Amino acid sequence: MATEWHVTWSDEARQDLDEIVDYIADDSPTTAQDVFDKVVARVGSRKRTAGRGRLVPEVTISVEPPLRELIEGPWRIMYAIAEGQVVIAAIVDGRRDIQAFLRERFDWPADN
């Protein structure tokens, strides 16, 4: 039987998803619900395939544990595998300046 990983959400990632859904709901509650369902399902897939997401290409400094991501277009779901669990760290619109987002969210140096 395959290992099933425990998936947890950081407070920031929960807030990210709430803000995305609220923003979309202003125009279309149905679309907002669809986005919510797709993101939650994509996150749930980490229970079985935690290490299959790609490393976040904008991360140019060494971080432990490595930051990985899944794409649920246009959203980038960023996570790390730590202490036997998958931790959802952020959900961000892929059209944003990702390096600026990473510096702000994780307090990383400007040369990242």
Q: What is the CATH number of the domain that holds 59?
A: 3.30.2310.20
pLDDT at 8 over 50: yes
Contact 107, 29 (CB under 8 A): no
* 54 lies in some domain: yes
Note down the domain range covering 33.
Answer: 6-106
* 40 lies in some domain: yes
d(CA 47, CA 62): 25
Number of domains forming the structure of the chain: 1
* 19 lies in some domain: yes
d(CA 72, CA 4): 21
Task: Grade residue 1 by pLDDT with cuts at 50, 70 and 90.
Answer: very low
Amino acid at 107: D
* 111 lies in some domain: no
Rounded to two decimals, the pTM is: 0.88
Residue 93's SS3 state is strand
d(CA 85, CA 23): 30
